[in-house]
Structure 1
Amino acid sequence: MEDTNKSQYVLELRNIEKEYFGNSVLKGINLKVKAGEIHAIVGENGAGKSTLMNIIFGMPVIKNTGGYKGKVLLDGKEIDIKSPNDAIELGIGMVHQEFMLMPGFTITENIKLNREILKANPVSKLISPMLKTLDVEAMRKDARKALKELGMTVDDWLPIAGLPVGYMQFVEIAREIDKENIKLLVFDEPTAVLAESEAEKLLEAMKRLAAKGIGILFITHRLDEVIAVSDTISILRDGEQVASMAKKDTTMEKIAQLMVGRKIERIERTNNRASSDSEDAIMSIKDLYVYMPGESVRGVSLDIRRGEILGIGGLAGQGKIGLANGIMGLYRSTGEVYKNGQLIELNNPRKSIENKLAFVSEDRRGVGLLLDTSIEMNIVMTSMQIKDGFLKPLLGIKAFKMMDEKKIRKHANKYIKELDIRCTGPTQYTRRLSGGNQQKVCIARALTLEPEILFVSEPTRGIDIGAKKLVLDLLIKLNEEQGMTIVMTSSELGELRSICDRIALIYDGKLQGILDPQDSDVDFGLMMAGKPGAHAKEVI
């Protein structure tokens, strides 16, 4: 009787656990998908969705980091998926958020890649079967069939290069359903890059595939899509499965609350400069567009109040990261940014720094640090380049300058002590520091510029819990003791709510609204999913 019960599910996950370097990212996940069912998985950034999909599809990152605990069953039988090839052979397909297409190949060639149909010819019959040639017509016939199932009428012999993004997404799906043994399809944010009309077509295609008996796992942050097509909905939060329910038993508001709901531990502020709701704007952003790949900003207008800690939140790829990068001139931008009423020149990092802005990048190892350079040089480098700081006349001649090593050493030791940078000394290479201490070096370099506004992007990414608390406490200290205005961009909504005075939420490159940290989980969840809540503050 138990076997019969198992076999009704095309996929079962039992007590799945996964750690990355001692950090638990999946904590006992139990999930079931029936044949012909659309099962949605929703959650914030970092909830564990991608890790779960990597396990199901056998991505190398799982094996290379120690594997996982628990069981995966397909059609009631336990399986061990060691690679994507294993998954494909078992009938599991995945439509990735990032396209896995060959631009120089045609639609048909992409659909049939690694599954080409061959036919015999006189040479292969005489010499070797290895000399068979492509059966182009048979391949095109299969490709047209797969495209037709998705409601696509595009010519199958067009090259991928130059196709609209929506067409590329459908080619990805067509490639998966062309496989004869497909049982389960995993869709990872399939509508993220699609226009609204294209997204509607894709959702209809998903319904048609489910009607054929294919089980579908649907990862998305768009709650209206979840309600529109899903049969069952599972919510992940901080690696835990907080709920699984039938669509009929839930609402968009309930999903939003479960997705972000958590106890907010507000860090005590001794001098909350923004508590009076002062309207004194130190910076005004007008119709800002930032052309940052994957994090573009589309017409954001926002006032930053003097002396506040403003949070910038949102899901991955929605544009929150692009805001600071654009203002600081790291990516091409258009629009207007005023500081204290004066227009700041965009697309010019030097001008941004001269206007007393400083930036701690989200990519500390790729952009924020010179890893094979000493701590002290990392701290003073930007000041030396932009402000001629830490330089002295060479042999008394002002026109020629050299590094003031004594001043550099004294300054570096000051910040090592003040920020509690754990190191062997100021000459230690930053590569050899822990993630939390590397982050402190980035902050020290920004503070060396003596900014009035400090932009910090993902300040606690990749560092341990203890170091996170130290970094957040440091930001509060800078705000309260030095009166520094801080704009903190983070994927960790709980952190934003713990220290910020206001939180601006970005979706699809646009400002959805501004919330108080104490506003409801429902409002935060809906706004992050592109559905403004009832208590959103007026955008100013």
Structure 2
Amino acid sequence: MKKNTETFLEMRGISKEFFGNRVLNDVSFSMQRGEILGLVGENGAGKSTLMKILFGMSVIHETGGYDGKILLDGKEVTFASPLNALDAGIGMVHQEFSLIPGFTTTENIVLNTESLKYNVLVELFGDKIKNLDFEKNTQRAKTAIAKLGFNLDETMLVSEMPVGHKQFTEIARELDREQIELIVLDEPTAVLTESEADILLQSIRTLSKEGIAIILISHRLQEIIEVADKVLVLRDGAVVQEVSASQTNVEQIAEWMVGRELHQTVIEKVDTVREEKSGELLLSVEHLWVDMPGETVRDVSFEVRRGEILGIGGLAGQGKLGIPNGIMGLHVAGGQVIFKGQPVTLNNPRFSLNIGMAFVSEDRRGVGLLLEEPLDWNIVFTAMQTQDKYVKSYLGGLIQWRDDEAMSRVAQEYIQVLEIRCTSEKQLAQELSGGNQQKICLAKAFALNPELLFVSEPTRGIDVGAKKIVLDTLRKHNKQKGTTIVMVSSELEEMRSICDRIAIVDEGFISGILPASAKSTEFGLLMVGKGKEHKEEANA
């Protein structure tokens, strides 16, 4: 089937703010039936938010909605929920699986749309007493699976499936829906083997020929080039390029994605040229693996010298976030980690804190903060628990009580230094904006006065002014207090502004480590598989 030249989907002038932080700015694009659109951009570029708007997800409505219009076949539509989008023929496969482990492939594919059959009790009790039509449901599942061209066992429990089979089951569920016209695939090959990814790409081509439009979000740029009709590049919430896939290449897309310059106030360097750190070895990581869902680390080795700022970057789902979470004991990990010449006991968060390491998590609401407690308590809590700071002792330590005056004093100090917008140190953490919550997480880590600080996504979701404050504070603690920092971030230019070296993680391995002065495109190529030879050698 040839692609229809008439516009099927149009998103016009889409803008979105989250708590005053603009994440999408006047985004517009259109698609024809059967067209494959490759949607690419760095983490935080706005890809997922744009698709959440298209799919009518509740987080959009709960945060003030959006500006702009969505048109299907020339008619404006507003989806109050994903069910409305599904009714209009739009399906979406998210990065996180939404399958029921105790159900079979078939049961998950037909979930909530099961075929039913009549029995005599219906006359007495109504349609709710209808039986499941096992044969018809099985046939529906087989038909959807056949469209994928992948050998899925329709009777297998999801709990027994390899991860690739789960991804195909998610996609088959969308294909089972009646009158499906558009499918959004968010990083569908991230969990697939190379052979499975090839099958999926062929399936995408087949679906396109049948007239189903596809929006493919992927960090694997070569796949985008191979399968997409056109490529849409987002950067900082805006469209920076829309081009035919046949008229571009991986290097050019990588440059569009990461080649921007942030506002001068954010990336201005403290030193014109940062001296290469040649101090003592502080941290040595060898063959680290971490079982963190969505951020698996397979085999990572690197070293950090005292006084250095090491950046760890990479695209979503490649494992960069797993590294600090594994070393700090928040997810199951193995391998060898040596700190100040002594082995680190993994899978034990208290041990890492006790020996002089600290961690600012990317999950500030889930891990970083006590949301229902005041700011002073949030800032000092970990130091109080692990170092007996901000505590008054009586009778030789037999009786201890918190030092409210010291707590208030240190909280006010960090509120001033980090320019935290709050009513006082007694305000509850949950009442602050996301950017100010992030600053509280930093203050909490600084209060420990660690020798080594892991800080993960420190500027995610905060405005330009707040980014400058956060980066300046990290610089200050590194330069003036000698704190060694490992900064994990999706923001390449920000890492280049303050780091000495930057390691890029790709598919759970270190793809390469470059000086921060290296070109953006060199980092971009490492992000999209240039380091593949290294990984293959490690697997040999």
RMSD of aligned residue pairs (Cα, Å): 2.8
Q: In 1, distance between residues paired with 2:277 and 2:153?
A: 58
8 A Cα contact 1:6 1:76, kept in partner: no
Q: Which runs of 5+ in 2 are unaligned?
A: none
Matching residue of 1:233: 231
8 A Cα contact 1:234 1:245, kept in partner: yes
- List per-residue Cα deviations over 1:289-322 (Å, max 9, x = no partner): 1222222222211111221221111222222122
Q: In 2, distance between residues paired with 1:126 and 1:456?
A: 63
Matching residue of 2:457: 458
Q: In 2, distance between residues paired with 1:138 and 1:179?
A: 14
**What is the Cα deviation at residue 68 of structure 1?**
2.5
**Which amino acid counterpart does residue 350 of structure 2 have in structure 1?**
R
**Which amino acid counterpart does residue 447 of structure 1 have in structure 2?**
F
8 A Cα contact 1:9 1:32, kept in partner: yes
8 A Cα contact 1:28 1:240, kept in partner: yes
Q: What percentage of aligned pairs have identical amino acids?
A: 52
Q: In 1, distance between residues paired with 2:441 and 2:81?
A: 38
Q: In 2, distance between residues paired with 1:418 and 1:69?
A: 36
Q: In 2, distance between residues paired with 1:155 and 1:100?
A: 18
8 A Cα contact 2:279 2:307, kept in partner: no
Q: Does 1:184 align with 2:182?
A: yes
Does the C-alpha gap of structure 1 residues 430 and 103 become closer, same or farther in structure 2, counting only changes over 3 Å? closer
8 A Cα contact 1:456 1:489, kept in partner: yes
TM-score (norm 2): 0.90
Alignment of 1:278-427 (within 5 A): 278=278, 280-394=280-394, 396-427=395-426
Matching residue of 2:220: 222
Q: In 2, distance between residues paired with 1:29 and 1:398?
A: 61
Alignment of 1:139-150 (within 5 A): 139-150=137-148
**What is the Cα deviation at residue 116 of structure 1?**
2.5
8 A Cα contact 2:4 2:33, kept in partner: no
Aligned with 1:26: secondary structure?
A: strand
Does the C-alpha gap of structure 1 residues 338 and 116 become closer, same or farther in structure 2, counting only changes over 3 Å? closer
Does the C-alpha gap of structure 1 residues 365 and 67 become closer, same or farther in structure 2, counting only changes over 3 Å? closer
Does the C-alpha gap of structure 1 residues 123 and 8 become closer, same or farther in structure 2, counting only changes over 3 Å? same
Matching residue of 1:108: 106
Matching residue of 1:268: 269
**Which amino acid counterpart does residue 366 of structure 2 have in structure 1?**
G
8 A Cα contact 1:33 1:216, kept in partner: no
Does the C-alpha gap of structure 1 residues 404 and 65 become closer, same or farther in structure 2, counting only changes over 3 Å? closer
8 A Cα contact 1:7 1:75, kept in partner: no
- List per-residue Cα deviations over 1:464-492 (Å, max 9, x = no partner): 33222111111111111122211111222
Does the C-alpha gap of structure 1 residues 335 and 211 become closer, same or farther in structure 2, counting only changes over 3 Å? same
Q: In 2, distance between residues paired with 1:22 and 1:113?
A: 38
- List per-residue Cα deviations over 1:228-285 (Å, max 9, x = no partner): 211211111111111111121011111111111102543231496x523526432111
Q: In 1, distance between residues paired with 2:517 and 2:320?
A: 21
Does the C-alpha gap of structure 1 residues 271 and 95 become closer, same or farther in structure 2, counting only changes over 3 Å? closer
**Which amino acid counterpart does residue 233 of structure 1 have in structure 2?**
V
Matching residue of 2:84: 86
Instruction: Single out whichever of 439-448 and 140-149 deviates more from structure 2.
Output: 439-448
Q: In 2, distance between residues paired with 1:486 and 1:235?
A: 32
Aligned with 1:319: secondary structure?
A: coil
8 A Cα contact 2:17 2:23, kept in partner: yes
**Which amino acid counterpart does residue 318 of structure 2 have in structure 1?**
Q
Aligned with 2:158: secondary structure?
A: coil
Q: In 2, distance between residues paired with 1:93 and 1:431?
A: 34
Q: In 2, distance between residues paired with 1:111 and 1:381?
A: 46
Does the C-alpha gap of structure 1 residues 93 and 428 become closer, same or farther in structure 2, counting only changes over 3 Å? closer
**What is the Cα deviation at residue 457 of structure 1?**
1.6
- List per-residue Cα deviations over 1:56-102 (Å, max 9, x = no partner): 22222223333333332223333333322222222222222222223
**Which amino acid counterpart does residue 267 of structure 1 have in structure 2?**
E
Q: In 1, distance between residues paired with 2:418 and 2:51?
A: 39
Aligned with 1:161: secondary structure?
A: helix
Q: In 1, distance between residues paired with 2:481 and 2:349?
A: 24
Bigger Rg, structure 1 or 2 = 1
**Which amino acid counterpart does residue 145 of structure 2 have in structure 1?**
L
Q: In 2, distance between residues paired with 1:406 and 1:79?
A: 57
Does the C-alpha gap of structure 1 residues 226 and 109 become closer, same or farther in structure 2, counting only changes over 3 Å? same
8 A Cα contact 2:511 2:532, kept in partner: no
8 A Cα contact 2:10 2:71, kept in partner: yes
Alignment length (residue pairs): 529
8 A Cα contact 1:526 1:533, kept in partner: no
**What is the Cα deviation at residue 413 of structure 1?**
4.6
- List per-residue Cα deviations over 1:14-41 (Å, max 9, x = no partner): 2222232333222222222222222111
- List per-residue Cα deviations over 1:192-227 (Å, max 9, x = no partner): 221222111111111111121211111111112112
Instruction: Single out whichever of 50-59 and 274-283 deviates more from structure 2.
Output: 274-283
Does the C-alpha gap of structure 1 residues 173 and 360 become closer, same or farther in structure 2, counting only changes over 3 Å? closer
**What is the Cα deviation at residue 125 of structure 1?**
6.3
Q: In 1, distance between residues paired with 2:120 and 2:467?
A: 69
Matching residue of 1:246: 244
Q: In 2, distance between residues paired with 1:282 and 1:398?
A: 33
Alignment of 1:136-215 (within 5 A): 136-215=134-213
Q: Does 1:513 align with 2:535?
A: no
**Which amino acid counterpart does residue 202 of structure 1 have in structure 2?**
L
Q: Does 1:117 align with 2:115?
A: yes
Q: In 1, distance between residues paired with 2:450 and 2:409?
A: 20
